[in-house]
Structure 1
Amino acid sequence: MATMPSAFTPSHVVEVLERHHLLREVVCRHRWTLTCDGIDGADSPISDITYDTRKVEPGSLLFIKGRFKPEFLDGIDERGLAVYVAETEYADRTNAIGIIVEDVHKAMSLLSAEFYGRPQDGLTLIGITGTKGKTTTAYLTQAALNAYSGGRCALFSSVDLCLDGHDMIPSKLTTPESLDAFRMMREAVDNGMRYLVMEVSSQAYKVERVYGLTFDVGAFLNISPDHISAIEHPTFEDYLRCKRRLIANSRTLVLGADCDYHDLLMQDAAEAGITVTQFAMHDKAVGLNTPADVVARIDPANKSGFIASVDGSELAPMELGMPGEFNIANAAAAIAIAIAAGVPADDPSIKAMDQVRVPGRMERITAGDDLVVYVDFAHNYLSVKSLVDEMERVYGERDPRITLVSGTTGGKAIDRREGIVKGALGRVESFVFTLDDPNYEDPVDIARQMQAYVTDPKAETQIVMPREAAVEKAIADAHAHADRFNIVLVVGKGDETRNIINGKPVPYEGDSAVVRRVLGK
């Protein structure tokens, strides 16, 4: 059961909001005031908080946000609504106390923390942002901190949530809504967790999901254009600005030494007065006069392994359960984060990263000696480029024929349509464009747009719907070119088992399941 402050009443809510300069006025039965003085129920404990009118119970506080329709409040008084927090008043719909605020998302984050007893104060918080690698880095970091603390590290990721150090449950958002985040933090603390590793998306700052939260360690991995659309970020500058907010809200920063806009990010850290630990994938970060603090390099004795050094001292060789140079870079980040969180560099818990596998990330499925299929979440320019780079590094001497199966989302992240193609162009010989969360757009139209970005005259392109058929066709084409070594890259969905079509989730077999079925695995 969640631990709640005994004084969490409408009066206390007003005090918190006033302290943070978010309160506009209090409205009750058409009476407008700046306090709860003289209002019935102002000092009665609030029993629960929610942003869903369907979950209102006697004594509830309701946050009204987003595309809210006033008729959602019809009959709400009979169900016992005590108070609502909103950016406009609804006195004609309910007799509940209305607390009107400047920004309901900021208010929800602050009040959720209070309602659940400020669980963040009982955790060492690690926030990870970047365009690519957040999920893998989060899993690697959790593994090390879990090993170090005896299984007391929680996880919020775009794939899974873990509130007890061992059980994983599917997540719905990269960064949960603030109310849900603090509720789960409370559960994690009650379960004995000492650490929380969480992915922090640009949208989390855009819509104030982490407002008021300070991370003990903030990690900024990398940055490249992504999530640019009318409903996400209107410009790259806005996208970068939102991600940069992590720095001002962290006590120490872990930064990719080769990250674009490195100078700006270092200035942000200096402005915030926080120390910076830098990581890199090679012996010396490009453009820097001094080596990064944590450096990873390919193990010369093991092509699949790596050796990390911390402040010039080498650690024991490691080999990740997930292949790829970019995953080694993620491991370097995770090592730097773990050390910043208090783990000694030579502690054996660092080696726990070796066993980590992330669902839908670099999943390798073989079919004899002449065909290998990778299922991966790569869904933008940087991640697709890194994936193809890895194929060339590992298999280049075999002159592979590479096929890319990809679609992209409808209605948002429009820049991905060109970025995915650009990341593979000149190296992928066959593109199979298909469906991937088209939402209200025609997936064939999206595929045609992507097809138009293929400027390599030697590359084959085709559009195949539905997604299952596209995977089947790519593998069939690979078998038809058995005179060469073939690689099929099925990207974009990772471990997802649904497609968003016309605003609704439609069950999907899953990329890995389709591949295994076609290959008879």
Structure 2
Amino acid sequence: MTLTLASATQLLKEHGLLREIIRRDHWTLDPHDFDDCDTAFAAITYDTRQVKAGTLLCCKGRFKAEYLHGIDEAGLQAYVAETDFSGETDAPGLIVNDVRRAMSLLSAQFYGRPQDELTVVGITGTKGKTTTAYFTQAVLNAYSDGHAALFSSVDNCLDGHTYVESDLTTPESMDAFRMMREAVDNGMKYLVMEVSSQAYKVERVYGLTFDVAAFLNISPDHISPIEHPTFEDYLYCKRHIIANCRSLVLGVDADHADLLRQDAAAAGVPVTTFALRNDSLYTASSETDNDSADADHTVADFVARPANEAHSSYHIAADNADLGAFTLALDGDFNYANAAAALAIAQAAGADLHDERVSHAMTTVRIAGRMEQFRDPQSNTLAIVDYAHNYASVTALLDFVYERFGEQHPRITLVTGSAGNKAYDRRKEIVEAAQDRIANFIFTAEDTDSEPFIDICMQMQGYITNDAVTSTVISDRTTAVTNAVYDARAHADQFNILLIIGKGDERWIKNHNKHVPFEGDDHIIERLFA
């Protein structure tokens, strides 16, 4: 499948995006006014530095005319933009109403619509997307003998086994379709991808229909002038996935689940539900029956329940049939909810869950920087490194700590920061989620564009209203983690738990739009505990 000026024009017309084609002083809707309209583009890019002979350039974002200086000599064949740049180039310009939508459609076409050769799974929600994506990929990999690709906020995997650190939760549309093509060429049959609210806000998945979509949960997050102005806007963007899928997996206890079901009904999309139930012990012989479901909860198609009082393993039932007891390498009850979701997704994608090698493939999955636990040989201290970064995930993490270790009355220290220049609501909410459940805060650096780390930390400290909790601001993150360890050792007469959140295993901190090398929370702990 090739992309030409003529076929690009037709595609943009079909989607109501084309305004006109402009070349110097000639304005037209007919691409055949140009001699090379049927010449296939040799490349497509949104980076002027990558333009070569035969390139179609998408001018997105804060694009400036000066970026096009000398572009004709580089070999630009045509450009797509919301602005006329005919004063800067002799190449014809496809002038459109929305360049991001246009870029998504044109990229898919340029790379031969690789999504049509894959079963594509999209997973959204406020928390649990990454873990559920990894679990789902593991199950589909087992079912397909290693032919499942992954796009996640941590890693991308295009061959079923090689993982490379990713830059975005959901890639730019052009990058996504390029990677999909590579995955198809590698023999992949499935693609599991996280889908952020921003992916719909800025049209990264425009025109993409998911064979299976999962909506795990929803709570306020990403509220800021450069993300979502309100929670309503955040939820509205996430809801787009429902109208753009063929099958939906839904967390039955998610806030606004009734609205999400209405979305599915309006789109004619079938719904499979999942749930976590922690109220009683589960045995395969009885508790899968609908009559035994919690009186105050909706019955779900996939249900995870603890198999013992220690919650060290869970039974998962699908359509009232027990799939067995599951023990995960990732601790935390919420991860069994993610496991139930993954099994529901995999079944909707066509996997046979009756084969234990398939259904239990996720039990050994580990994700660097997620619920990683370390014991200090020099003191009675447990450190947990995790990506928790908002009210919901911090609450879930503390719920886990209290459930597993509450009887030991641990002294808990939370090492945290918050993102700069965005998601301003997180700063107060992290404090509110933790201040009545911990002994000590250490506020420190997290990723930021231009806001000083110290300002964010001081603002978070100012949200503390519980006089019983202590707090310290240490803007250098390595020093902050080190201080937490030394402080725990100074309280060796108590069981200490250090919760170090927000960065996981990332080896950089974003400062003034640059990735500054950073040892990593997990490496710091490993070094100090060695």
Using the size of structure 1 for normalisation, the TM-score is 0.97
Partner of 1:262: 257
Alpha-carbon distance, 1:302 to partner? 5.5
Matched residues in 2 for 1:27 and 1:69: separation?
A: 18
Partner of 1:361: 370
Matches for 1:432-447 after TM superposition, within 5 Å: 432-447=442-457
Partner of 1:391: 401
The AA in structure 2 aligned to 1:397 is E
Alpha-carbon distance, 1:285 to partner? 6.5
What SS class does the counterpart of residue 512 from structure 1 fall into? helix
Alpha-carbon distance, 1:37 to partner? 2.1
4+ residue stretches of structure 1 with deviation over 3 A? 283-288
Higher mean alpha-carbon deviation, 276-285 vs 202-211, is at 276-285
Partner of 2:281: none
Which of 225, 228, 233 aligns to 2:223? It is 228
Matches for 1:138-149 after TM superposition, within 5 Å: 138-149=133-144
Matched residues in 2 for 1:164 and 1:500: separation?
A: 29
Partner of 2:284: none
CA contact (8 A) 1:257 1:285 kept: no
Percent of aligned pairs with the same residue? 56
The AA in structure 2 aligned to 1:35 is D
Alpha-carbon distance, 1:439 to partner? 2.5
Matches for 1:340-419 after TM superposition, within 5 Å: 340-348=348-356, 349-368=358-377, 370-419=380-429
The AA in structure 2 aligned to 1:33 is T
Which of 309, 313, 319 aligns to 1:305? It is 313
Matched residues in 1 for 2:244 and 2:295: separation?
A: 27
Partner of 2:330: 322
Matches for 1:159-238 after TM superposition, within 5 Å: 159-238=154-233
What SS class does the counterpart of residue 183 from structure 2 fall into? helix
Partner of 1:448: 458
Matched residues in 2 for 1:18 and 1:303: separation?
A: 56
Partner of 2:515: 505
What SS class does the counterpart of residue 360 from structure 2 fall into? helix
Alpha-carbon distance, 1:287 to partner? 4.9
What SS class does the counterpart of residue 448 from structure 2 fall into? coil
What SS class does the counterpart of residue 264 from structure 1 fall into? helix
Partner of 1:60: 55
Matched residues in 2 for 1:285 and 1:431: separation?
A: 37
The AA in structure 2 aligned to 1:395 is F
Which of 467, 470, 473 aligns to 1:460? It is 470
Matches for 1:63-212 after TM superposition, within 5 Å: 63-212=58-207
Query: Deviations 1:300-357 (Å, cap 9, x if unpaired)?
Result: 1663211101111111111100100111111111111111111223222110110100
Matched residues in 2 for 1:187 and 1:143: separation?
A: 19
CA contact (8 A) 2:311 2:333 kept: no
Which of 507, 510, 524 aligns to 1:514? It is 524
Higher mean alpha-carbon deviation, 337-346 vs 491-500, is at 337-346
What SS class does the counterpart of residue 78 from structure 1 fall into? helix
The AA in structure 2 aligned to 1:14 is T
Alpha-carbon distance, 1:365 to partner? 0.7
What SS class does the counterpart of residue 82 from structure 1 fall into? strand
Matched residues in 2 for 1:424 and 1:228: separation?
A: 20
Higher mean alpha-carbon deviation, 30-39 vs 390-399, is at 30-39
Matched residues in 1 for 2:86 and 2:448: separation?
A: 40
Matched residues in 1 for 2:310 and 2:528: separation?
A: 32
The AA in structure 2 aligned to 1:71 is E
Matched residues in 1 for 2:21 and 2:424: separation?
A: 42
What SS class does the counterpart of residue 37 from structure 1 fall into? helix
Query: Deviations 1:430-468 (Å, cap 9, x if unpaired)?
Result: 000011013211211111111122211111111112000
Partner of 1:276: 271
Matched residues in 2 for 1:435 and 1:286: separation?
A: 45
Query: Deviations 1:451-495 (Å, cap 9, x if unpaired)?
Result: 122211111111112000100111111111111111000000111
CA contact (8 A) 1:153 1:196 kept: yes
Alpha-carbon distance, 1:93 to partner? 0.2
What SS class does the counterpart of residue 303 from structure 1 fall into? coil
CA contact (8 A) 1:258 1:286 kept: no
Using the size of structure 2 for normalisation, the TM-score is 0.95
Alpha-carbon distance, 1:266 to partner? 0.7
Partner of 2:283: none
Matched residues in 1 for 2:364 and 2:295: separation?
A: 30
Aligned length: 514
Which of 503, 509, 517 aligns to 1:493? It is 503
CA contact (8 A) 2:457 2:475 kept: no
The AA in structure 2 aligned to 1:157 is S
Matched residues in 2 for 1:38 and 1:141: separation?
A: 49
Matched residues in 2 for 1:110 and 1:405: separation?
A: 43
The AA in structure 2 aligned to 1:325 is D
Aligned-pair Cα RMSD in Å: 1.2
The AA in structure 2 aligned to 1:360 is G
